[in-house]
Amino acid sequence: MEKKFKRDVKSLDKIFDYINHFVLTSQLDDSISFSIKFVVEELFTNMIKYNVGHENDILISLKKNGQHVVVELVDYDVEPFDLTKVGDLDITKPLERREVGGLGIHLVKKMVDRINYEYENRTCRITVFKNLG
Amino acid sequence: MFDVTISDNGEILLSGRFDASQVEKAKSIFNKIEKSSTVDFKDLEYISSAGLGVLLMTQKRLNESGQRLKLINMNKHIWDVFHYAGFNNIFEIE
């Protein structure tokens, strides 16, 4: 299933409803459901934050494919930003030196089994794979 | 639906889904905290990095005056997120 959402943080309610429907029809457990919601929110809000200057909707696609779930977000008419090349976050820093930036991407990488980034014709496509079981 | 309230005994109670659209609502409470406090996650189903950011900034601000947040009653999924983020090293979690 796939659906486009307005690039606004206020779209999150509709996005979570959309994910809940997918989870229900695909009979996925709570743990997978939490991961999908987390990953979609982080990638979606990242696209809003960094791909500014236009109002194109963002496409979110959810599929259960054999033994994994495939989540894909597509953003149109944007500059390239390959999140797979972002360096690891140092989570051992003391409180005084911890920053909020980079936390979302770090956590997405921890939660999924594989991330693909593609950029062509000013279109960014991020695909994540989450193994079931 | 997300909510954040302060109980009669001064605990901060979180409930529902703490996503990026709820940051301002959460800040309206967390920015007022000036002494060590307990945050009860019992009724919180979900949190994203946006929510973690509010907690981190509050902890950093409180730490400057020797105060801190204690986090209690997290569900397993949220507990995992805190550990992936290394927040178990900078928060007391029960």
Mean pLDDT of chain A: 94
Give the pLDDT score at A52. Answer: 81
Give the pLDDT score at B52. Answer: 97
User: If pLDDT is split at 50, 70 and 90, which confidence band does A87 have?
Assistant: confident
A88 close contact with B: CB closer than 8 A: no
Q: Which tokens hold the place of B31? A: 């920015």
Question: What three-state secondary structure class fits A40?
Answer: helix
Taking contacts as CB-CB distances below 8 angstroms, the residues of chain B near A36 are none
Choose from B17, B19, B54 for mutation: most chain A CBs within 10 A: B19
B33 close contact with A: CB closer than 8 A: no
CA distance B94 to B92: 7
A133 pLDDT more than 80: no
Taking contacts as CB-CB distances below 8 angstroms, the residues of chain B near A45 are 20, 48, 50
Q: Do A91 and B52 touch (CB under 8 A)?
A: no
Residues A43-70 have a mean pLDDT of 92
More confident residue, B10 or B17: B17
B60 close contact with A: CB closer than 8 A: yes
Here the CATH number for the domain that contains residue B11 is 3.30.750.24
Give the pLDDT score at A51. Answer: 81
Give the contacts of B54 (CB within 8 A, at least 6 positions apart). B23, B26, B27, B30
Tell me which residue range forms the domain holding B47. Answer: 2-93
Beta bridge partners of A4: A59
Q: Which tokens hold the place of A47? A: 């696209």
For residue B59, give the chain A residue with the closest CA: A95
> Which stretch of A37-46, A47-56, A118-127 has the lowest confidence by average pLDDT?
A47-56
Residues belonging to chain A: 133
In chain A, where the domains are located: 2-131
Taking contacts as CB-CB distances below 8 angstroms, the residues of chain B near A111 are 84
Structure ipTM: 0.94
Give the pLDDT score at A104. Answer: 95
Give the pLDDT score at A30. Answer: 95
Q: Do A31 and B60 touch (CB under 8 A)?
A: no
Q: Which tokens hold the place of A57? A: 């909707």
| DSSP per residue, A90-132 | -TTS-GGG--STTHHHHHHHHH-SEEEEEEETTEEEEEEEEE-
User: If pLDDT is split at 50, 70 and 90, which confidence band does B2 have?
Assistant: very high
A55 pLDDT more than 90: no
Q: What is the pTM of this model?
A: 0.95
Q: Do B53 and A100 touch (CB under 8 A)?
A: yes
Q: Are A80 and A119 in contact (CB under 8 A)?
A: yes
Which superfamily is assigned to A2-131 in CATH? Histidine kinase-like ATPase, C-terminal domain (3.30.565.10)
Give the pLDDT score at A44. Answer: 97
Number of folded domains that form chain B: 1
A54 pLDDT more than 90: no
- Residue A95 has its nearest CB partner, among B20, B52, B60, at B60
Taking contacts as CB-CB distances below 8 angstroms, the residues of chain A near B17 are 16
Give the pLDDT score at A53. Answer: 79
A101 pLDDT more than 90: no
A88 pLDDT more than 90: no
Beta bridge partners of A60: A3, A73
Beta bridge partners of A122: none
Residues A89-117 have a mean pLDDT of 94
Give the pLDDT score at A124. Answer: 95
